[in-house]
Structure 1
Amino acid sequence: MPYNWTNELWRILASLVLALLIGWMVGQITLALLLVITVWFASYFIRLVRLDRWLRFDRKQEPPHSTGLWGETFTGIYRLQQRARKRNKRLIKTLNRFRETTAALPDGVVLLREEGEIEWWNAEATRLLQLKYPQDVGLRLANLLRHPAMAAFWQDDAQDEPITINSPYNDAIRISLRRVEYGNNQTLVIIRDVTLIEQLQQMRRDFVANISHELRTPLTVLSGYLESLVEDETVDQQLHHTLEVMQQQTRRMQQLTEDLMLLSRFEHSREPGEKVVVNVPQMLSRLKEQARILGGEREHTILLEADPTLYLWGEPRELDSIFTNLVVNAVNYTPGSGAIRIRWHEDDTGAHFEVNDTGIGIAPRHIPRLTERFYRVDVDRSRHSGGSGLGLAIVKHAMQRNRGSLRIDSEVGQGSTFICDFPPELVRHPDEQGRGTRDEGRGGKTAS
């Protein structure tokens, strides 16, 4: 049962009363009170000394034996120490498990303090970054990884965007870095060796490019012979129909080959070709007529709203590929009598190309994967419409090469909207002095 501090007060009062009684009996009340107080102070001082020695030298031993309130104090401190030891053991075990877990990860992990100084790292980070303990503890990771891409890596809005750079100690190793904010302004940097992945991707791109190039010549020859046979009036009617189907499928294979070669070129080279000022309104006007012909008997309502004074600084063929793929997709996936709206406009954030249709729409789960090559929401419908699954992949890479971005908004049964955003620095106007313009209708260049 805990000792009540009022008991200690009663003991003091009882001692004082006893001192007064004895002092009155011997005629020395003051001396008796002084003696009792001195004894109490001496007792308290001795206990304080014992407490101090125990806390400094013998904390792991049992507390000094004492009675009364002091005994309760010793016991209470000892219990607090025991609980603190158990809590520290649990924390140490948790920390050891964390370190063992991170050490076993195939990715490198670096813990950074609030100001970006290195606090801890695992074995894989040692291999990839050649970090040394304890020399590198407290150093800023930004000073060890000097690369142009690292400036954007440390920006707040780039937290979810990993970057890929060469290892600072081995150019043959490619590493991917990603930031994760946690705790009190602390940062976790995850480092992954992506050398093999990039090599496999490069092999895949080379394979696709080589196969596409090798298929181009035989398909051209085959197409030429089929065209001659289709135009031959002496060919039997039934055979003529078969030849037309073969010619149609050959053209489809040629288009697929051209798309693969174009996509391969985009992936191999991140920089676009020769840039000029492109007359986008004129390009879209021609594209609108092509879309009307492509729609055929479906009789789509095609609306074009284009700012006639809004041009763009870019590579004409790549921009034409972007606009054409989006408009053709809208035509292919919009039922008869549907509406397709094409907009080309400008605001404070730059220029925007927007294609809105009243087609079948796309479920939300498919939208993040639409720009993957050969990805199709509905395989049967894509085959029926002649889609290859490469159009949006080409749009994505072409937009990246022209410093733009693609946004997709769609709902099943309500249609889709594809928006291409171009930064303000690419915007041009025909009345600007010293700018070249390109007439896409004639293919020539003029100076405004």
Structure 2
Amino acid sequence: MIRDPHPWKLEAWRFGAVLTAGAMIGWWVGHVFATLFLAVLGFLGWHVFQLWRFHRWVRLGKRSDPPDTSGIWHDLTYDLYRLHQRSRKRKKKIARLLNRFHESSAAVPDATVILGKRYEIEWFNEAAGELLRLQQPGDVGRPITHLLREPRFIAYLEGGVYTQSLEMPRLPDRQVQLSARVVAYGDGQLLLTVRDVTRIHRLESMRRDFVANVSHELRTPLTVIAGYVETLVDDPTLAPEVHRTLQSVETQAERMRRIIDDLLTLSHLETREDTVAEQTAVPVPALIGAIEEDAHMLVAERDLTVHVEVEAGLWLRGARSELQSAFSNLVTNAIRYTPDGGTITLRWFADAEGARFQVEDTGIGIPQGQISRVTERFYRVESDRSRASGGTGLGLAIVKHVLQRHGATLHIQSIPDQGSTFTCHFPLNRTLQKPPSSNTLS
């Protein structure tokens, strides 16, 4: 179709021609007004006929060709025809994109599910059908919470905070472990991706068992070796060179013992439940007092100052031995990496969000790019210095796991050559403002 460049001019000329013809015929027959009325009526009738043709073409759509008209009706037909053509092109493009999305989603090995505002299933790929046992089309439109009934998954979905993934068993077969991740998009829609992490869990379990078994097996012979070395070191008849060698062996044996103890502690933490179920009231001020005494013993031969600021009466619910291990590791780290003349400050206080245990030092600090890695197993900021100071590289990993089991978080602030601040933040539901009469809460 070719667009008329001046449709309204043509329509005005056509209307003027009708009026002129009507006036001339009326003057010739002697009834000018009547003839003009009939001419206008005929002109309107012609427009009604064009409107009928236009309406019929719109209703039939693809089943009929555009009507052959001129003037304003040709212009309207042309605009609608072009709009229809653009719409068809857009539909084809959307259909291609949708097909491409379905093909790419089907190729994704992870289970992918699109959820609506009420968590109803709108679409899922083949992997989701196999892994989550969803059926097409029967499960489309059903809430995902009716099909995946794991309580932690329902709480995760309804919580609305999807910054981290969730690991859970697949019910009723709890041997299969799943990792779920949700991404919010559009108008309240959710994209759920689930992958099978059973093999990863098994490998991790094998690794933990291996570390625990090896550590247990090494402890006994190491104890025997350390005992013999200690006996030999005390022998006054040994030559000085032999005595220095035995002292070096004793130092390394003690370092190996600390590594084994830390490995066993870490393995014990990893194999237990994610959250401490114990409701034991832990007297944190007394705990910190004992750690302070140990700290003063460690710095007795060094020029270090230890300050303690404790809020009396502020206790925690949790596992005392684990909390003592975590707090001791933080204090020991601060002592280890603070040069002589420095200061270490221990703080225990409540705030609006719960309670905080804070260890601040004036030590060597941590480069900003390495702060996120210091809680990894065996990670050291300065390997040579860490080994020379006797560190095992497992202390902060133990701290991280203890805090996770208590629902707490670790925040690290550090400036190289100025010092670091390690803050353990415990939630309100773990705090006690007054110690109960019994050691165990009901």
Would the aligned equivalents of 1:162 and 1:179 in 2 still touch at CA under 8 Å?
yes
RMSD: 2.1
In the superposition, relative to structure 1, how do residues 9 and 156 fare at CA in structure 2: closer, same or farther (>3 Å)?
farther
* Aligned 1:317-332 pairs, distance under 5 A: 317-332=321-336
**TM-score, normalising length: structure 1:** 0.92
Per-residue CA shift, 1:206-230, capped at 9, x if unaligned? 1111111111111011111111111
- Which residue matches 2:216? 213
Q: 1:167 to 1:429 in 2, by over 3 A?
A: closer
Partner amino acid for 1:226? V
Question: SS of the counterpart of 2:174?
Answer: strand
- What letter corresponds to residue 214 of structure 2 in structure 1? I
Are 1:173 and 2:215 matched, yes or no? no
1:232 maps to: 235
Matches within 5 A, 1:120-135: 120-135=123-138
What SS is found at the alignment partner of 2:413?
Answer: strand
Match of 1:443 in 2: none
Of 399-408 and 201-210, deviating more is 399-408
**Distance change >3 Å, CA 420–CA 49, structure 1 → 2:** same
Q: Give the whole-Å Cα distance in 1 for the aligned partners of 2:246 and 2:58.
A: 100
Conservation of the 8 A alpha-carbon contact between 1:19 and 1:29 = yes
Q: Distance in 2 between matches of 1:275 and 1:329?
A: 29
Among candidates 111, 115, 119, match of residue 108 of structure 1: 111
Displacement of 1:3 in angstroms is 2.5
Task: Say whether the 8 Å CA contact 1:345–1:351 is kept in structure 2.
Answer: yes
Equivalent residue for 1:204, pick from 200, 203, 207: 207
Distance 1:11 1:245 in 2: 114
Name the CA shift for 1:311/1:70 in 2 (closer, same or farther; >3 Å).
closer
Does the 8 Å contact 2:278/2:317 carry over to 1? no
Greater shift in the superposed pair: 29-38 or 344-353: 29-38
Which position in structure 1 is the counterpart of 2:397? 393
Using the TM superposition, give the Cα deviation of residue 412 of structure 1 relative to its aligned residue in structure 2, in angstroms.
2.2
In the TM superposition, residue 198 of structure 1 has moved relative to its aligned partner by 0.9
After superposition, the C-alpha distances for 1:254-282 in whole angstroms (9 at most, x for unaligned) are 11001101110111112558664333223
What is the CA-CA distance between 1:130 and the residue it aligns to? 1.2
> How many Å separate the matches in 1 of 2:70 and 2:296?
102
Question: 1:260-299, aligned counterparts within 5 Å?
Answer: 260-270=263-273, 272=276, 276-299=280-303
Distance between the aligned counterparts of 2:61 and 2:436, measured in 1?
87
Q: How far 1:425 moved relative to its partner?
A: 3.3
- Give percent identity, aligned residues only: 43
Q: Does 1:89 align with 2:80?
A: no
CA contact (8 A) 1:130 1:169 kept: no
Q: Secondary structure at the match of 1:159?
A: coil
Query: How big is each residue's C-alpha offset from its partner over 1:383-422, in whole Å with a ceiling of 9 and x where there is no partner?
Result: 1222121111111111222332222222223311111122
The 5 Å alignment of 1:15-414 reads 15-59=18-62, 62-156=65-159, 158-168=161-171, 170-270=173-273, 272=276, 276-414=280-418
Greater shift, 117-126 or 368-377, is seen at 368-377
Q: Which amino acid aligns with 2:392?
A: S
Runs of 4+ aligned structure 1 residues displaced above 6 Å come to: none
Which digits, 9 at most, give the CA deviation of each residue in 1:187-213, with x for residues without a partner?
111111111111111111111111111
Q: Classify the secondary structure of the residue corresponding to 1:154.
A: helix
Q: CA offset at residue 128 of structure 1?
A: 1.3
Letter paired with 1:54: W
How many Å separate the matches in 1 of 2:365 and 2:335? 13
Tell me the number of residue pairs that the alignment of Structure 1 and Structure 2 aligns.
Answer: 437
Contact 2:7/2:75, CA 8 A, preserved across alignment: no
